[in-house]
Amino acid sequence: MKKILLVYNPVSGHAAFKNRLDAVIENFQRRGILLSVYRTCAGDNSNFVDSVKIFQPEGVIAAGGDGTLHAVINWLKKNSLDLPVGIINSGTSNDFAAHLNLDDEKIFDAVAAGRTRPADLGLVNGGEYFINVASAGVFTSIAHEVDSRLKNFLGKSAYYLRGLGELKNFKAVPLDITADGQKFSVDAFLFLVLNSPSVAGFKKFSDAAQIDDGKLDLLVLKKCSATALINLAKKILAGGSVQSDENIFSLQAATFEIKTSAELTSDLDGEEGDNLPLKIETIRHAIEIFC
């Protein structure tokens, strides 16, 4: 019987995954898969490694949002645990799962069949991995500031409502960017380093981003007028790519160094990351994803 470790976040999304837990176990069990369940906590999760070593699973399923997937990826990579990862979306947002069009039935069948595909990861300052996006600038603090109760009640709308309150505080910062050795300078409101084209609930934010091409995609929102910002927001809300917009600076590279004279804290998959400067490397095919 195949063994899989299910990692779930009890407060992710509407804190409702526990109500689905029995159905998830039944679906895996019906496919000949034995689950061991690991419940994440807000503090020390060092027991995760012990759980893997004792149970010796053939894969790990992350049930939660972007933050839960981010945590699982880092626990695995930082402890040299080479296991494929599946995703059950039960969080406020899981952009990586959305890009792969993953639903529960697809995951159940993929795990049972051992069906995976490789995915790249980003590595920031040699320490922290991200699977979907690294960013900094206006809006990037919102995910850390929105109260968890508000997120659970309103979902993604909580981020957008909080973001409206930040419009009056828009301030451009000077960015010095080195991409595969080429140097650029841009006055910017925000930058995103993407692995997938799905960001903030929008599935086609970038035309070029692919999860397995050995490169990451940089999108920089340049300093622009309020009218230009509104027009760009309309394009995003309509589901279009922003890559060709005149107020976006974009390029692909395997490595980035991003510096600024301003004080900026990065965001990695919705979790607070290092302060700038950042050195970002693409780790090609660093992990296998059940899909």
Which residue numbers are catalytic?
271
Question: Mind spelling out the 3-state secondary structure of 247-260?
Answer: CEEEEEECEEEEEE
Residues 6+ apart with CB under 8 A from 238: none
SS3 54: helix
Cβ pair 69, 87 in contact under 8 A? yes
Give CA separation, 214 vs 30, 146, 231, 289, in Å: 37, 33, 32, 16
Give the β-pairing of 278-290 and 255-260: antiparallel
Name which of 25, 52, 24, 27 is nearest 38 in CA terms: 52
Cβ pair 179, 281 in contact under 8 A? no
Structure tokens that stand for 246 in this block: 């005149």
Residues 6+ apart with CB under 8 A from 80: none
Q: Which residue has the tokens 């409702």?
A: 16
Give CA separation, 132 vs 36, 58, 164, 209, 219, in Å: 26, 23, 24, 10, 13
Residues 6+ apart with CB under 8 A from 142: 159, 162, 163, 166
Instruction: State which amino acid sits at residue 250.
Output: S
